[in-house]
């Protein structure tokens, strides 16, 4: 492993890519702690710590994805979340809007056009979210429950507009950073920035557990984290390989085809998207309750939905993840298209007729492996909430749910990319 790292830095072009990626990550972290003009950063810190210690799952999720930047109202407060939301919306619209579906089938030019639409939607969502965050921060107790601090001392129109423009521009810069890493660095830029945000909160979260609960709970947390990480890696790599045989056909005087391959159907076909969907949906009633906190329904939401240790929250979270897993897999993997493409190029599954029987068989296999995949996603996402009850680790428990899923997925993809570049130069890769 160490030799592979040395070889990676010995290769000039790969070394430049790695150093460039590290440089962009450093800039990203600087912007994540740089306060937005007009914000009283000391008042924000005084309100932030009590809010996170209350066990509020909404605050914990927001803090997780932004690496602490959102609740600190920094320049990169929104991080990459508007881009993720825009990408999901465009992906869903591709299924229902024929124009987008046609662009998707046009190849590289169509993909570029869809990417441009995603950028425009990202900026629009960033303006909307930045305005919402600034509006909540203007009123004490709206952004942080029970906070009486004046987070924005000067509430003039110029200051508010400057804050909204700054936070929106920060999102655009992050989007540019991600594209730079993808083009000139190593790995998928957007995924690496999300990975960086999550990893940045790990040291402080672990140290908080050590300070508050002692060395015993700290060691137990590390042990549980390693076991969870190994289990997630095992499931993320698991797949059902559906064998496919291609018949021989004559092209001119040459015989083509006759090869054997397979269709890899992952157990976790949906990735981390259902978890993000479920978290976003649970956040909507909480956001609505912030505007009328004295109403009876708002009090009920505050007592039941914002608390991660509440059984109702856990059951609702789990069921939403399972439902969104089936929904997302259903719109991203189309057995009919796969069956038609196989029939077009002379491919067939041994023992299954081409056409409709192949489509039915793929749908059968997909529904069977989605069930354990959805259950796995739901259980992994509940780990930090269960830890909140069992060892009282609060939101400082870092090993679970979305954080581990993203870390493992991005880490494996990045390592595979580096390994493939090493093997092209006759070096041994990381995974021997």
In order, the DSSP letters of 89-134 are: HHHHHHHH-HHHHHHHTT-HHHHHHHHHHHHHHHHHHHHHHHHHHH
Range with top average pLDDT, 193-197, 310-314, 382-386, 425-429: 193-197
Residue 228 lies in a domain: no
pLDDT digits (tens, 9 = 90+) for 391-406: 555 555 556 567 777 7
Rounded Cα distance, 22 and 74, in Å: 21
Residue 420 lies in a domain: no
- CA triple 406-398-205, angle to 5 deg: 130
Count the Cβ atoms, other than its own, within 10 Å of residue 326: 16
Strands 248-251 and 347-348: unpaired
* Number of helices (H), then strands (E), in the chain: 16, 5
Residue 335 lies in a domain: yes
Residue 23: the pLDDT is 92
As for how many domains the chain has, the answer is 2
Residues 71 and 142 placed together within one structural domain of the fold: yes
Q: Which two tokens stand for residue 114?
A: 């869809």
Strands 248-251 and 254-257: antiparallel
Q: Which two tokens stand for residue 1?
A: 């492993």
pLDDT digits (tens, 9 = 90+) for 313-370: 788 888 888 888 888 888 788 888 888 888 887 788 888 888 888 888 888 988 888 8
Residue 18, domain extent: 1-200
SS3 243: strand
Determine contact, residues 376/235, Cβ cutoff 8 Å: yes
Residue 333: the pLDDT is 84
Residue 123: the pLDDT is 92
Residues 190 and 252 placed together within one structural domain of the fold: no
Rounded Cα distance, 127 and 254, in Å: 59
Burial environment of residue 32 by CB neighbours within 10 A (0 to 12, 13 to 18, 19 or more): buried
Rounded Cα distance, 31 and 54, in Å: 27
Longest CA–CA separation in the chain, Å: 82
Residues 272 and 367 placed together within one structural domain of the fold: yes
Residues 284 and 170 placed together within one structural domain of the fold: no
Residue 150: half-sphere exposure toward Cβ, Cα within 13 Å: 5
Residues 99 and 173 placed together within one structural domain of the fold: yes
Residues 188 and 243 placed together within one structural domain of the fold: no
pLDDT digits (tens, 9 = 90+) for 56-82: 445 555 566 655 666 667 888 888 888
Residue 309: the pLDDT is 62
Q: Which two tokens stand for residue 381?
A: 């996402």
Rounded Cα distance, 179 and 308, in Å: 35
């Amino acid at each position: 492993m160490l030799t592979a790292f040395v070889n990676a830095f010995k290769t000039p072009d790969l070394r430049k890519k790695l150093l460039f990626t590290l440089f962009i990550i450093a800039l990203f972290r600087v912007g994540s702690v740089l306060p937005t003009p007009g914000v009283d950063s000391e008042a924000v810190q005084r309100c932030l710590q009590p809010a996170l210690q209350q066990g509020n799952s909404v605050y914990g999720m927001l803090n997780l994805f932004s690496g602490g930047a959102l609740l600190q109202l920094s320049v990169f407060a929104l991080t990459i979340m508007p881009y993720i939301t825009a990408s999901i919306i465009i992906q869903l619209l591709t299924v229902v809007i024929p124009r987008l579906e046609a662009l998707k089938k046009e190849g590289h030019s169509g993909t570029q056009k869809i990417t441009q639409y995603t950028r425009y939607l990202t900026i629009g969502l960033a303006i909307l979210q930045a305005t919402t965050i600034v509006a909540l921060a203007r009123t004490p107790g709206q952004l942080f429950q029970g906070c009486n601090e004046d987070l924005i001392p000067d509430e003039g129109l110029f200051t508010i507009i400057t804050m909204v423009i700054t936070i929106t521009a920060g999102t655009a810069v992050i989007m540019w950073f991600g594209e730079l890493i993808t083009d000139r660095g190593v790995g998928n830029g957007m995924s690496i920035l999300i990975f960086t945000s999550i990893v940045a909160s790990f040291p402080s979260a672990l140290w908080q557990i050590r300070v508050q609960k002692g060395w015993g709970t700290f060691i137990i947390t590390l042990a549980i984290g390693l076991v969870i990480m190994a289990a997630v890696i095992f499931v993320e790599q698991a797949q059902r390989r559906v064998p496919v045989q291609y018949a021989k056909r004559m092209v001119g005087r040459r015989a083509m085809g006759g090869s054997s391959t397979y269709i890899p159907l992952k157990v976790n076909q949906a990735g981390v998207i259902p978890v993000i969907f479920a978290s976003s949906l649970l956040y909507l009633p909480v956001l609505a309750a912030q505007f009328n906190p004295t109403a009876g329904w708002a009090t009920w939401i505050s007592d039941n939905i914002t608390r991660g240790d509440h059984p109702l929250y856990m059951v609702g979270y789990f069921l939403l993840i399972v439902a969104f897993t089936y929904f997302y897999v259903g719109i991203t993997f189309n057995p009919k298209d796969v069956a038609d493409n196989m029939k077009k190029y002379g491919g067939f599954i041994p023992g299954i007729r081409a056409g409709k029987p192949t489509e039915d068989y793929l749908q059968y296999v997909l529904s069977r492996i989605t069930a354990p995949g959805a259950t796995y996603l739901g259980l992994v996402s509940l780990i930090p909430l269960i830890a909140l009850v069992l060892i009282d680790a609060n939101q400082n428990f870092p090993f679970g749910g979305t954080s581990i899923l993203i870390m493992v997925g991005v880490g494996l993809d990045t390592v595979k990319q580096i390994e493939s570049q090493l093997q092209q130069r006759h070096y041994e890769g990381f995974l021997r």
